[in-house]
Structure 1
């Protein structure tokens, strides 16, 4: 059984609400004030705001929002995203999903709901970031193994030696150069590629 998650502290946080002027915005801003989060409201675009990436969370209008409102690519916001949803039109839901909304609030906005949406959005954003980092690390390891295998094969063919001897030669070269064996392997593969292209031009 997993240990219960800690509820994040929002002390000192700042929020950006990108939504057309509406009573829903007024309700959201009042909730932010009660929670103790400084909130900024803007419409239609947020690209002109200074230090936009310093905001801790952004709330978007899923009903009338569009990609050009933000300085980042769709789905790549550097902070948690909460979608304010009033319309259930498939196209608008798809747009909110394309923005990688981490949580949602349904309109009309009442006097509650923001705090729980913030907690959910924070956890979702953190988990997505951790998963992205893990996938990147796994891909890097896979690429390193592929390069290591390629370098070993090159040494086997070039020096007419066994796979064990080729790996040992590569390992010793890495130790001598005081670098990881993956780096030594990449250097070898790169040098062979460069030589090969030079021979082709000649």
Structure 2
């Protein structure tokens, strides 16, 4: 389920990292951060001189001069919301920003407002993105387990010359005897199946 705004977002106590060269745009962002209770740090060109990245709640990046090697994670896998600071509308720069998984944007030159709205959008987009990634991971895990069970069932059908229902019944009995889940029992059977199509497992399998 997508997260919704149940109350007025409050960013007091957040810590922001502005990955941008020293510039009046950074000064403007620092001032906006201070007004809404956010502690902000500036770093350039990498995150090496910043405190532990896990201490930050949001990252603001320079979309005009940024590059992949600035970040200790793969493009699109930032562990926090990203707000892109955009001055150039060059297609290559926009594509790079999208590839980084920016959750919101602020157009340069930065003025005296706009950060709060960008934070609301970015934080909600990040929550949705994180929830979707977790759901995808869960679905992939469930699919992999089903595939293993199907493979083990096929192996037991071949070994015992029986139909799928009977083979699955054998798999359940094996899991109960070993006090393991069906998926783990199935993985053991698949692992014991050698390249010649024979099983190395015993115990009546």
TM-score normalized by structure 2? Answer: 0.89
Structure 1 Cα separation of the partners of residues 129 and 48 of structure 2: 24
Alpha carbons 1:15, 1:37 under 8 Å: kept: yes
Task: Please name the residue that 1:28 is paired with.
Answer: 29
Indicate the residue corresponding to 2:110 in structure 1: 109
State yes or no: 1:11 paired with 2:12. Answer: yes
Mapped to 2, the partners of 1:38 and 1:128 lie a distance apart of 25
TM-score (ref. length: structure 1): 0.91
Distance between the aligned counterparts of 1:193 and 1:96, measured in 2? Answer: 48
Shift of 1:59: 0.2
Aligned-pair distance for 1:193?
A: 3.5
Counting only pairs closer than 5 Å after superposition, residues 1-202 of structure 1 correspond to structure 2 as: 4-193=5-194
CA distance 1:48–1:174, shift in 2 (3 Å): farther
Indicate conservation of the 8 Å contact 1:63/1:86, yes or no: yes
Q: Residues 152-174 of structure 1, C-alpha deviation per residue, up to 9 Å, x if partnerless?
A: 11101101222111111111111
CA contact (8 A) 2:43 2:49 kept: no
Root-mean-square deviation (CA, aligned residues, Å) is: 2.1
Distance 2:146 2:125 in 1: 32
Partners of 1:76 and 1:92 lie apart in 2 by 18
- Answer yes or no: is the 8 Å Cα contact 2:106–2:118 preserved in 1: yes
> Are residues 8 and 176 of structure 1, via their aligned partners in 2, closer, same or farther at CA, if it must alter by over 3 Å?
farther
Select the structure that is richer in helix: 1
Q: d(CA) in 2 for partners of 1:99 and 1:131?
A: 17
Distance, in Å, in 1 between the alignment partners of 2:128 and 2:92 is 26
